Structure formats: C-alpha cells, structure tokens
Amino acid sequence: MVPAQTPRLPRHLQARLEAGLRQRGQGYRTRFAPSPTGPLHRGNLRTALVSWLEARLRGGEWLLRIDDLDGPRNRPGAEASILHDLRWLGLDWDGPPLRQSDHRGLYASLLSALRRAGWLYPCRCSRRLLADVSAPHGALAVYPGFCRERPPRWGPEAGRLPSWRLRLGEGVIRWRERCGSTGCQDGPSTVGDVALRRADGLVAYHLATAVDELLMGISDVVRGDDLWSSTGAQVAVMAALGAPPPSYAHVPLWRDAQGERLSKRHGAEGLAGLRDRGEDAAGVIGLLAASLGMVPAGSRLSAGELLADLSSQGLDRWLQQERRIREKA
C-alpha cells in the first residue's frame, strides 16, 4: 500500500523545497550536471552547448552542478578539467558550481522522512538475484517487488544493510516533454520500486537528482535522451515530496558512423584530442553546432556569435523537429 500523504519534513528542509519551487516560478533556470569521472567528450559538450544556448536565448540562468556522489568512480582532476573545458569554449555559468557531495546530510534527512511516512521499504535482493531476472541483452528488468511485503527489517543481517526502495503506486507517471519521446511511463511496468539508497549506504542517483532539481529551482532540464528512461523514477520521487516536476527536453545524442553513441566508456574524444589536432575554440563550437544542423560544416564561430545568430524560436523548432524525426523512426 502506498502512502496517501507527503512526508512531514523538518521545517528547514520544507522551507528549502518551497524556496526552490518559488525560484522556479520566477524564470527559466536549467543546469548542466556532469560527473567528474573523466574529461567531457564531444557528446557531453554538444548537450552542454544546447542547454547553454537555450538558457541564454530565454534570458534565464545556466547553473553548473557536479554530480560527484559516486566517490569510487570519481577521478582526481576531472572536475578541474570540466570547468576548464567549459570556460575555454565560452560556456559561462551563473553562480558558483554546486556539488552533490555537499548535500549528503540533506539527502539523509529526506530519506528518513520518506521512511517514516511509509514511502520506503528495505530490500535485501542481491545483484546476482536481480541479474537472474534481468531483461535480455543485460538490460535490468523492473524490480519485481520481492521484498515489498516482507516485514521491514532495517538493520544489518549477515553483515549487510538493505537498500531502500520507493514504494511506487499504480498508474501512469507524466511530465512535460519538449523534445524526446512523450513524457509518459507506466509506473508498475516500466519504472517499478527504484532504490533510493544503496546497500552500501550511498544515496542513489534518482533521489539526489530529483531533490537537487527542486532545491535549485530548476524550471527546465535539458539533457541527453539516454536519460529519458530515468525520468519517471525522478518524477515519482518529486511527487512523493509533494512537488511537481520541471519541464524536460531530452536531446539526441551524438552517434558515430556505426550508430553508437559517444561515451567516456568507449573512449570518445574530448577537447584534448581536438586541441592536439590543432582545433581552437571557434573550430570546436563550429563542429558541435554543425553536428546539430545549426551551421554549415566547417564553420568557425564563438559560442557568443552562435548565440547572436539564433533565436529561441529557432532552437524550439530544432527541438521539435528532432522529436518528430525520432517519433517516426
């Protein structure tokens, strides 16, 4: 059974969430949220450029958030490299960079409130067990709810703590989607009871992301379409906290000649490789913009010059055109 009410939050946390929602209503605010696991590759940079252009065209704010909660995967010097690359390209952000690691205590307080209100339950399913119920080709199936109705034992057993899962209700999860697939996922069949706190004690991606969109007053999330499938879980967390979601635009990823998306995992080239080949910032901005169909191939221009040549209506038309292309595919 899913709780019917939002959790009772400590007064200071409730005030911060309400302040974030008020800030959202005051104008356009978006964010770029890289993880410091290595240098930005061209695909990351292209998404950053689209996000930056939209914020500037709408007279809004472009915030920078470093998603650094997964300490074992963070690489020394990666954050400094990210900041340097954005500055080199002329993608300026508003205010100081924010770091998720600074919010660990806040996430813990929110998790405790959700747990007290009955929104969470402990799960002791091992990775091996969940792998056995995975979908074909390694895609993890929706959690089947093995632990949902078991007695809630929160303490360690056999030296291992449980993960904490969100008790998701029946029905469809909806959000406003401006570019990607329609903003709609069926909760039970495509989202399921996602983990919000891992068994190793780390806060899970869905909780941290959802909470930070609210605290930062984010009105619009512009990110790669590989994250579309994560949106339902994050919207569900916001709903549990009594907050509406922002608007989303899941922009197409940059793919190679074989149709594979560029990624750090596969060693996709970043700015260092482009600079080694003699490219300057104007050449890289031209390369990124040309890949989006905004300028002819071989163009050279600064981020500011590209911004001056565009309009918010033109960028909107591009986003909508990309959506139509993918819906027909």
Active site residues: 264
**How many CA atoms lie less than 13 Å away from 163 in the CB half-sphere?**
25
Q: How far apart are CA 34 and CA 69, in angstroms?
A: 11
Contact 203, 197 (CB under 8 A): yes
Identity of the amino acid at 112:
S
Q: How far apart are CA 327 and CA 279, in angstroms?
A: 35
CB atoms within 10 A of CB 305: 17
Q: How far apart are CA 237 and CA 239, in angstroms?
A: 5
Contact 302, 88 (CB under 8 A): no
Contact 206, 175 (CB under 8 A): no
Q: How far apart are CA 111 and CA 117, in angstroms?
A: 10
CB atoms within 10 A of CB 5: 10
